[in-house]
Amino acid sequence: MNGLQKVVALTVLLVFPFVSVAVFVGPIDTPVLQGGTATLRCSNSDFSGGVRQWREEGKTTFADQNGIFVGDTFTKYQDFQISAPSATQIDLIIPSAKVADEGTYECEMTPDKGSAVFTVEIQGSTPIITVDGDSSGSPIILTEDVETTLRCTATGYRPAVNLEWYMNNVKITTGVSEDSPIGSGDTFETSGTLTMTPTKDDNEGSLECRTTGQQVVPDQIGSLSLNVQFKPRVKVTYEFTTSTILCSADANPVTSIQYVIFLNDTAQTPGQSLPFNNAEYGCTRVKCDVTNSVGTGTDTRSEELCPEPSTTTEMPTTGATTMSPTTTSKPTTTMKGEIAPQVNAAVIAVAVIIPIVVLVVIILIVICFKQRKFCFAPSKTGSGGTILKKQPSASNADMIRNQPEVRQSVHKYDDEPKKPRIPRSSTGNSKKQPGNDAAPRQSGGSPVEGNRGSPVEGNRGYPAENPDGRNQDGGGQGGVNYADLEFQNRQGDPNGHGQIHYPEEEPTQYASILV
């Protein structure tokens, strides 16, 4: 029964489970591990009589429901067995399978027959991975960036197997090739190669060679770890807390590795660390070379190392005594371009405070200009150095009149200033009245004694009035009168504003006040 017939028969059984249908079930291809037992099944539920037998393809029948035939012709099958538990079944049993038992066997049950291939599998040795014929074991030594060809050999397999390569359980599809199998007796040998250029990342990786193509025998795996050697990866750093240059490296192998630190291209004593506290070098280029059996790796610091700056403060000297310069606390600036956190904090504080102060000053200036007070003292001089005169306001007339050091004179207000008049007496005389303060001031001194305090009674309320209410006519004119006040600044004495003005700084000043 071929495959199609089997499918049809199975479908009928599923669709019509309660209908009895004649079904022939012939043998199927059967592999077996050498030395194992295999059973080739054959049955026909509709068999009612006829032929029930086994034969090998191209050869004569060697068994029926009664068993294996005997004779020299049937020597190959003498170990075979027939199982016929019922009239509808006849099975062939092959115990202790060997390669000689392989073949295509056919079962016939009238009117149907079917055939199957019987094979014997042999498990070979574990595949071996070698490099240039070296199979010294795992790990296998490779060199970074050097192309390498690895070979895998699987021997003693039946049937011949195929080979596949894996790196860390990931199948490799590039750089793979396979030779034709070579037979040796009942088994075959298969070889294949993998060409790869290992990298540092492949170090300590797991490389596998797997066999494929057998059904009974599981895939066999040959594996090893990789020892990929590479020149040092170098890193040079500076440890600020200990003022030490440090050199580190990632390398394989690490045996016989050598570290050399260079200052301004001058090699120092070999070692991984070097104190850097000698100011004689100034700003210094720092480089580190590390060498192993593969090669030399190097690293140069991106910035030069500079001595730690220091500031000194000279103490003042007194007489012959000389004080030693005292070193002030140095900012913790260690290397060029690298400032300690506290210095950074100070710079940040200054950068914040200064703009705030400037902003406050600007606000105060704006307020002063708007209020027009308390901002700027008036200038004493104008352009060209001319001394400006202070002009008292009319609202302060009473205050000015009552100040000491003031001499009053009254005249008729008109376009041109006139000399002060002396008020006439009630009799019309121009004669100076006793106590009259209109006397001229003395040069360089104070007004006459009679001028201190308030004017005499006869001069108050100028122009003077007669008892009958008329103005005095002793030359005086009616109308509005003003008092010219002359400030006499005396050296060393405060004027009416409470400030000292010297004669050469501020001359006599005048103000006209309505009285």
Question: Which residues, listed in sequence order, are joined to residue 238 by a DSSP beta bridge?
Answer: 245
**Residue 356: helix, strand or coil by DSSP?**
helix
Angstrom distances, CA of residue 257 to CA of 203, 246, 290, 293, 297:
18, 15, 7, 8, 11
pLDDT bucket at 373, cuts 50 / 70 / 90: low
Pick the more confident residue, 293 or 447: 293
Q: Is 223 within the bounds of a domain?
A: yes
Q: Is 367 within the bounds of a domain?
A: no
Q: Based on the domain organization, do 145 and 85 belong to the same domain?
A: no
The last residue of a domain, from among 91, 121, 151 = 121
Q: Is 324 within the bounds of a domain?
A: no
Q: Is 357 within the bounds of a domain?
A: no
Q: Based on the domain organization, do 98 and 191 belong to the same domain?
A: no
Q: Based on the domain organization, do 65 and 130 belong to the same domain?
A: no
Q: Rounded to an integer, what is the distance from CA 195 to the centroid of its chain?
A: 40
Q: Based on the domain organization, do 173 and 275 belong to the same domain?
A: yes
Pick the more confident residue, 234 or 403: 234
Q: Based on the domain organization, do 294 and 168 belong to the same domain?
A: yes
Element (H, E) at 401: helix 397-401
Element (H, E) at 237: strand 221-239
**Cα–Cα distance measured from residue 83 to residue 65, given in angstroms and rounded to the nearest whole number:** 8
Mean residue pLDDT of the chain comes to 74
Q: Based on the domain organization, do 18 and 97 belong to the same domain?
A: yes
The residue segments making up the domain with residue 459 are: 386-425+447-515
Question: Which residues, listed in sequence order, are joined to residue 419 by a DSSP beta bridge?
Answer: none
DSSP at 381: B
- Respond yes or no on whether the N-terminal peptide bond of residue 111 is cis (omega within 30° of 0): yes
Using an 8 Å Cβ cutoff, are 239 and 280 in contact? no
Q: Is 372 within the bounds of a domain?
A: no
Instruction: Give residue 383's pLDDT.
Output: 46
Q: Based on the domain organization, do 182 and 303 belong to the same domain?
A: yes
Number of separate domains in the chain: 3
Q: Is 296 within the bounds of a domain?
A: yes
Q: Is 489 within the bounds of a domain?
A: yes
DSSP at 514: E
pLDDT in tens, 412-439: 444 445 455 545 444 444 444 444 444 4
Q: Based on the domain organization, do 67 and 34 belong to the same domain?
A: yes
Q: What is the mean pLDDT of residues 59-74?
A: 94
**Residue 371: helix, strand or coil by DSSP?**
helix
Q: Is 263 within the bounds of a domain?
A: yes
**Pairing label, strands 140-143, 112-121:** unpaired
pLDDT in tens, 253-278: 999 999 999 999 999 999 999 998 76
**Lowest-pLDDT choice from 25-34, 165-174, 310-319, 496-505:** 310-319
Question: Which residues, listed in sequence order, are joined to residue 131 by a DSSP beta bridge?
Answer: 134, 150
Q: Based on the domain organization, do 113 and 149 belong to the same domain?
A: no
Pick the more confident residue, 508 or 354: 354
**Cα–Cα distance measured from residue 139 to residue 281, given in angstroms and rounded to the nearest whole number:** 48
Which pair of structure tokens corresponds to residue 178? 């396979």
Q: Based on the domain organization, do 47 and 81 belong to the same domain?
A: yes
Instruction: Give residue 462's pLDDT.
Output: 42
Percent of the chain with pLDDT over 90: 49
The pTM assigned to this predicted structure is 0.54
- The residue ranges of DSSP E strands in 253-327, in sequence order, are 258-263, 266-267, 273-275, 286-291, 296-300, 312-313, 326-327
pLDDT in tens, 97-137: 999 999 999 999 999 999 999 999 999 999 999 987 776 67
**Residue 157: pLDDT over 60:** yes
At 129, which CATH number? 2.60.40.10
The last residue of a domain, from among 77, 99, 121 = 121
Q: Based on the domain organization, do 149 and 161 belong to the same domain?
A: yes
Q: Based on the domain organization, do 252 and 147 belong to the same domain?
A: yes
Using an 8 Å Cβ cutoff, are 246 and 269 in contact? no
Residue with tokens 């040959």: 222
The last residue of a domain, from among 94, 121, 148 = 121
- The residue ranges of DSSP E strands in 276-321, in sequence order, are 286-291, 296-300, 312-313
Instruction: Give residue 277's pLDDT.
Output: 78
